Amino acid sequence: MSTITDTLSACTLFGNLDAARLDLVAGLCRGRSFKRGDLVFAEGDEAGELYVLSTGSVALEMSLQPVPDRPAIPTAVNVLTPGDCFGWSALVEPYTYSLSSRCMASSSVLAIKSDILRGKMDADPALGHKVMTMLATLARRRLEETRLRLVSGLGIALLQGELEVNRG
């Protein structure tokens, strides 16, 4: 059975912390459970908590409105697995979630109140530096993954269009 510290150690955001700081963050965590299909948070909500996925899977979604005057379509941009963190907008102003998160399976998370974590990071600049450095790394990786998905999707759409023109 995995402990809170084990789950945090596997997380990009906290995996590089020393034992004392890891224990400090572990003390801020509370467990929450969600069923398949549950929304953990919605795009545009005030970001009050940061999450680390313990079990299950979570899709990060954004609302796309390709046709004006039509309803927005929730579109998955990433699927998270245990050890991944999400809701990191809770650590960055304006503290508003930029995506929605929906459970793809029954899931359990560690939830951390962001104002308390930010206070600990302010009180311990080394903790703040390590977490924010890893947050920047995580954001860069997620942006690269999203970019690759968009480029490969666009490439497929362009190729299909080119094939249709050549057939016509």
Give tens-digit pLDDT for 123-160.
Answer: 999 999 999 999 999 999 988 887 777 767 654 444 44
pLDDT at 163 over 60: no
* Residue 2's pLDDT band (cuts 50, 70, 90): low
Instruction: Decide: 60 and 101 in contact? Cβ < 8 Å.
Output: yes
Give tens-digit pLDDT for 68-122.
Answer: 888 877 778 889 999 999 999 999 999 999 999 999 999 999 999 999 999 999 9
- d(C-alpha 4, C-alpha 22), whole Å: 10
Q: What per-residue confidence (pLDDT) applies to 155? A: 45
Return the HEC string of 108-138.
EEEEEEHHHHHHHHHHCHHHHHHHHHHHHHH
Sheet strand arrangement including 107-113: 29-34, 107-113, 49-55, 85-86
Nearest 10 degrees: Cα torsion 114, 133, 97, 77: -140
Domains located in the chain, CATH noted: 4-135 (2.60.120.10)
Instruction: Decide: 56 and 107 in contact? Cβ < 8 Å.
Output: yes
Instruction: Decide: 58 and 103 in contact? Cβ < 8 Å.
Output: yes
- Kindly state the DSSP code that residue 93 receives in the 8-state scheme: T
Secondary structure of residue 23 in the 3-state scheme: helix
Secondary structure of residue 165 in the 3-state scheme: helix
* Residue 167's pLDDT band (cuts 50, 70, 90): low
CB-count exposure of residue 13 (10 Å: 0-12, 13-18, 19+): buried
pTM of the model: 0.85
Nearest 10 degrees: Cα torsion 31, 38, 100, 45: -70
pLDDT at 52 over 80: yes
